Amino acid sequence: MTTRTVSLIALSAPFALATGATAEQTSDAWDLLAAIEVDEVITGTSYEVRKVFPTAVENGIEQFDITGYLVPLAEGAEITDFILISDIGFCPFCGSPEHGTSLQVSMADPIGYEDGTRVTLRGALEAVTDPETFQTTIMRDASLIDG
């Protein structure tokens, strides 16, 4: 049996980051998400991704605020689904924790965007417990607070 442990420290924080969030508050949200532990377990006959969520995240967070940069999943003048990253230099599609934490976001209403747009969002953070994916959280019904 082979086990690979990845500390994703991604996706969750009960900290509300209002408009004009401080750098510390923004960091707290990303740090909470990064605290999620992920173990990939592969045997000759099975595959499983085991996730350990911080207590604040395991049942989701009804009102979760976070600031980051938009990475669209599709082209268009307005988007509803995208990846949010903490640092504009991170690659959310590289599949490596060295590339930083990312969060999949689904907006309640479409928003306009430009490459590299920094936004603050509020939405419901949900834990993704599917044992066949590395994805740990998703933000649903998000709204734009600032950006």
- CATH code of the domain covering residue 48: 2.40.50
d(CA 21, CA 37): 26
Residue appearing with tokens 């991704």 = 49
Within 1-147, where are the H helices?
23-34, 55-58
Residue appearing with tokens 């003048």 = 77
Cα dihedral angle (86, 104, 67, 57), rounded to 10 degrees? -100
Write down the pTM of the prediction.
0.77
Cα separations (Å) of 99 from 3, 33, 93? Answer: 21, 14, 9
E strands along 1-54, which residues? 2-9, 35-42, 47-52
Mean pLDDT of 104-129: 92
Structural domain count, the chain: 1
| Domain, as residue range, for 67 | 2-146
Highest mean pLDDT among 24-28, 34-38, 109-113, 122-126: 122-126
